[in-house]
Amino acid sequence: MSIILENMVKPLSPKQASDRIAQGGLEVIDVREPHEWIDGHVPHARLVPLAQFRQNPKATLGQGPVLFVCAAGVRSETAARLALQSGFKEVYNLVGGTRSWVKAGLTLEHEPAVTAAE
């Protein structure tokens, strides 16, 4: 049973995600596109569009736990599964994405998009 749980993406509600981010030690990867990022993103997130992440997940991530974020939770689930397939163990997905984050009353940060190409 524990082996199955280790190979699963762990869902986090916006409140759970906010608490984990506040504790530190959690990498936050936003897999949306730059034009979406500009509208606001989860605090401490780093923009890595899904297409870019797909090319080389291992080069994108550190060694610790990682939380994936997108607009509604679909692209981030895809990225989280890719991370698991690449050997990462502690992988989380923000349920409902930034939409649920805002609905939960949490604030988004706003800053210009910076991608690897810039």
Catalytic residues, by residue number, are 70
DSSP 41: B
In whole angstroms, give the CA distance from residue 4 to residue 107: 34
Radius of gyration of the chain (CA): 13
